[in-house]
Chain A
Amino acid sequence: MKGEIAIQREHPTPASEPVDTLSATRPFLRVQGLKKYFRLRGGSFGLAGAYVQAVDGVSFVVATGETLGVVGESGCGKSTTARLLMRLIEPDEGQITLQDRNVGGHNGMSLRTLRRQVQLVFQDSYASLNPRHTMAEEVGFGLIAQGIKRAEARRRANEVLELVGLEPAIFADRYPHELSGGQRQRVNVARALALSPQLLLLDEAVSSLDKSVEAQVLNLLIEIKNRLNLTYVFISHDLNVVRFISDRVLVMYLGKVVETGPVEKVYTAPGHPYTRALIASRLSMDPSRRVEAAPVAGDLPSPINPPSGCRFRTRCPFAESVCSLREPPLEAFGDDPAHSAACHALIPGSGHSRAPAPGGEPSTRANGAPK
């Protein structure tokens, strides 16, 4: 309540607008062809060494006020994507558009402006707080960096600490080691909120917490989102948490987007074999429905030398020759135009034996898609 007055949105957007039409017309964030290859050390005599293809041509949109969940195995490029969005790492290629303004470039949005509008919450609550700073110093640091006076920054720090449920009188002058994991993560959220961003990137923000604490922090995040009309990009490997908090989901595999769509569609009718394996690998609460066999066998292939064509084909039970020849594009399938996947078995006329017939009704997918 108290924080609400101070954290006024410049462009308040009603959260009740339908998400799908919104993402098509006026996305808050649009990412196109984002690419980052990390060069490995080595390579003799000045010859270029190998590259890790961390993020390779990722495109997506985030509508104002929605929560986009990003899931995938460790090493699939989720965190790199978040750091590229914040420009903590410079992308090799790709365009980031924030509210119809390009980020970077000659007449684009400056990094300073970007970082006022987009903030990041890290996974490790301890490593992301300076052990020598009190909580008020830590939260106020960014404000002072943005040119706000010390006393005003302190006042604002107390305000956001209160917003995340930490009584400033008790917590403002404490050091990280004097707080519990959940309290530290609340401070991390407070620090991100201090600059009044509109988009919060949550990189595994609740993953390292105990289950009970995780639930508390999740509820806090939802409450804050509703109160401040925020937009979230929620990165996690925990499928249940993503389903709980997200409106739409983006599934990544080895630096690429393999499936995207509304959360219920993706969870109940997954198209890509990888998504299906991920969903199947979730542990059930019901002991009679326990997972007996591992849905995906083997390890993630090396991102230094990824498989040709479809990157999932080395672990895919339905891989055919076409999968190694051509890379499947991300295309809509099924009855929802917002639900798309990158799999030859779903694209009519792709040459895959399970692909629906060219020109056929989209609903034939039920027969054509691999079971």
Chain B
Amino acid sequence: MARRTTYVDETLTPQIAGGRTRIQRTYWQAARRRLVRDPVSMGCISILSLMVAAAIFAPWITPHDPYVTSIVNRLKPVGTPGYLLGTDELGRDMLTRLIYGGRISLLMGLLPIAVATLFGSVLGVVAGYFGGKTNMIIMRVADVFFAFPSVLLAVGLAGALGAGVVNVLISLSLVFIPPITRVAEAATTQIRTQDFVEAARATGASAPRIIIGHVMTNVSSPILTYASSLIGLSIVLASGLSFLGLGMSPPLADWGLMLNTLRQSIYLAPVNAVLPGVMILIASVCFNLLSDGLRTAMDVKP
């Protein structure tokens, strides 16, 4: 039998995976596909969507008014007819208050992180890409903020600005800018020295164009992953500020604030007192698990 040898130019043949040509997807399509196939991430997304939807539609789905007090109905246990999750120390329906509380608490988790991600990634990418003096100025300022523990910094800033929803949002945003800047800077410094950035410079592309086209595409996944892991922390910090009296003021429903006011009733109705804490726990755990899922999904490795 004659042996036939065919010489194939390996560099010209397409790689076939699993015997069939692969369906082409963009990077984001592929990442979304991986995320959708992860049960843990999808579970977290469902829970969080439910919370957000409940918070948005609170006036239409809650059984009671969140602010009307009733001395007679104080601290009813969980499962009381008409009061599914019992009542608080002023006789207000816990379920209603928890749903309304989600409005402020989730806002406290998402908005400061969104703002901090925007500013932090711009600062970090600029510092990382240009290096030298620019890097030194931005990163040393970030280091000053870094010197304080985040809780202390948030307390200090909120204390200085005064209580109130807007001031808490501002102080939380400021607290989260330095860590995001640090992550963005580290990722950018790593990308900047890669040959493909040098190749882009060699084509005569301007710095902003290279940053958008080459740097952002590669640093967005570590930044987004890190930022999403901070959402839980932001909710906890906002709750902490409310607990200390630096955040929202009493009649308002907020998980941290509810935890604070129910604290005095912990021996009379321990389950009721713990409920806001459980909500904080569920929300922050979900955000952290989702962050893990995002990291896996956004990993480019085939």
Contact = CB atoms under 8 A, between A and B. Distances in A.
Interface of A: 83, 86, 88, 111-112, 115-116, 119-120, 122, 124, 127-134, 138, 141-146, 165-167, 170-171, 173-175, 177-180, 182-183, 185-186, 188, 191, 195, 212-213, 216-217
Contact of A119 (B194, B196, B202): B202
A115 B204 contact: yes
B27 interface: yes
A133 B9 CA distance: 25
A351 to B, nearest CB: 45
A131 B300 contact: yes
B202 A120 contact: yes
B300 A177 contact: yes
Q: Identify which of B9, B194, B195 gathers the most chain A CB atoms within 10 Å of its CB.
A: B195
B302 A127 contact: no
Contacts of B301: 177
B202 A115 contact: yes
Given A127-B196, A174-B24, A216-B9, A180 B205 contact: no
A210 B83 CA distance: 74
A115 B202 CA distance: 6
B204 A146 contact: yes
Contacts of B217: 130, 132-133
A80 B198 CA distance: 13
Contacts of B201: 88
Contact of A111 (B24, B195, B204, B218): B204
Given A122-B195, A212-B10, A132 B204 contact: no
Interface in B202-234: 202-206, 209, 213-214, 217-218
B70 interface: no
Interface of B: 9-12, 14-15, 22, 24, 26-27, 194-196, 198-206, 209, 213-214, 217-218, 300-302
A102 B302 CA distance: 46
14 contacts: A88-B198, A115-B203, A116-B204, A122-B195, A127-B195, A128-B198, A132-B218, A133-B213, A134-B26, A142-B202, A144-B209, A145-B205, A183-B12, A188-B199
Given A179-B15, A182-B10, A186-B11, A191 B199 contact: yes
A133 B210 CA distance: 13
Contact of B12 (A83, A138, A166): A166
Contacts of B22: 178
B213 A165 contact: no
Greatest chain A CB density within 10 A among B15, B196, B217, B302 is at B196
Given A122-B199, A141-B203, A145-B204, 16 more contacts: A88-B198, A115-B203, A119-B202, A120-B199, A124-B195, A128-B198, A133-B214, A141-B200, A141-B214, A142-B205, A145-B203, A145-B205, A165-B11, A177-B300, A186-B11, A195-B203
Contact of A213 (B10, B27, B196, B302): B10
Contact of B194 (A127, A138, A165, A171): A127
A180 B300 contact: no
B34 to A, nearest CB: 14
B11 A213 contact: yes
Contact of B15 (A120, A141, A178): A178
Nearest to B220: A132
B206 A177 contact: no
A132 B27 contact: yes
A116 B198 CA distance: 15
Contacts of B214: 130, 133, 141
Contact of A141 (B195, B213, B300): B213
Nearest to B12: A165
Contacts of B206: 145
A127 B213 CA distance: 16
B24 to A, nearest CB: 5
Contacts of B209: 144-145
Taking each of B195, B199, B200, B300, which has the highest tally of chain A beta carbons within 10 Å of its own beta carbon? B199
A178 B214 CA distance: 19
Nearest to A133: B217
A174 B195 CA distance: 19
B205 A182 contact: no
Most A CB within 10 A of own CB, among B9, B12, B213, B301: B12
Nearest to A217: B11
Nearest to A120: B202
Contacts of A141: 200, 203, 205, 213-214
Contact of B14 (A88, A116, A128, A170): A170
A177 B199 CA distance: 18
A128 B195 contact: yes
Contacts of B199: 120, 122, 128, 188, 191
B203 A178 contact: no
A25 B296 CA distance: 60
Contacts of B11: 165, 180, 182-183, 185-186, 213, 216-217
Contacts of B202: 86, 88, 115, 119-120, 142
A342 B14 CA distance: 49
Given A111-B204, A178-B22, A132 B198 contact: no
A191 to B, nearest CB: 7
Contact of A171 (B9, B14, B195, B205): B14
B299 to A, nearest CB: 11
